[in-house]
Amino acid sequence: MDQSNERESSTTCASIPSSSIASTPVRPDYQEISVRGNRRMTTNDLELLDKTAREIGAKTIVEIGSMDGCSSMVLGQVAKDNSGMLYCIEPYPKGKWATNMIDLGLNNNVLLIKAASPWLDWSKVPAPIDYLLIDGDHRCSRAICDYVAFGRLVRAGGRIAFHDIDGGKGVALYVRQAVEICERDDNLSSPQGADYLIKQIARTPEARDRGTIVFEKSAEAVLI
């Protein structure tokens, strides 16, 4: 995939040697993490996940789709810094995912649920969830399914991020459709039940591919 669209991060990030990542309390080197995770996420994606998860002191974090662990490295560090846990739902984790978790000293704060959403043992899924990343099966109906199935477990004031919203073809089209439908339907006043009332709070600068959008659940959101 073309990485040439990756833009410079708007914020300067602390640059730290890989050997000190595990113990450092400062923000991670997003560039290094992107490379370690086979550039599944850009530095902008990683910075946005990091910032929006830290802002709410996320302790219970769920990630759907982990692959090489690019997002797991950033969200795992947030969980670790908050004495919490990152739950990674992934049917086919790469060997690199496990290596990255060990290299960064995250294995006590990251739990793999080796299954495909939504066909998993729901007793393993925590609730309430502070922060949810949807980056698994990118088909429109599947992304909506992840949102509906897991979004209900996100607490009021918690956050939901979708990855891969940029680009003119392929998965981005499906994910954007999914995001539009979720955003529209959950803000409808409907006799069918509780709305989750999400509102967009952040997005990476538009790019040729990748891209992350983050929503927050309203304080009035109803858990059903």
Binding site for ligand SAM (CB under 6 A): 37, 40-41, 64-71, 89-92, 116-117, 135-137
Single-letter residue type at 73 = M
Quick one: 73 or 221, whose CB is closer to ligand SAM?
73
Ranked by CB distance to ligand SAM, the top (closest) residue is: 65
Single-letter residue type at 193 = G
- CA-wise closest residue to 158 among 140, 138, 133, 125: 133
- To ligand SAM, the closest distance from the beta carbon of 41 in angstroms equals 5
Quick one: 156 or 202, whose CB is closer to ligand SAM?
202
What are the φ/ψ torsions at residue 34 (nearest 5 degrees)?
Answer: -60, -45
Quick one: 146 or 216, whose CB is closer to ligand SAM?
146
What are the φ/ψ torsions at residue 215 (nearest 5 degrees)?
Answer: -115, 155
- To ligand SAM, the closest distance from the beta carbon of 46 in angstroms equals 8
Instruction: Provide the angle, in degrees to the nearest 10, between the axes of the packed helices 70-81 and 43-55.
Output: 20
Beta strands (DSSP E) in the chain are 60-64, 85-89, 110-113, 129-134, 154-163, 198-203, 212-217
Quick one: 162 or 215, whose CB is closer to ligand SAM?
162
| DSSP-derived 3-state class of residue 103 | helix
- To ligand SAM, the closest distance from the beta carbon of 94 in angstroms equals 7
- To ligand SAM, the closest distance from the beta carbon of 10 in angstroms equals 20
- To ligand SAM, the closest distance from the beta carbon of 89 in angstroms equals 5
Quick one: 45 or 216, whose CB is closer to ligand SAM?
45
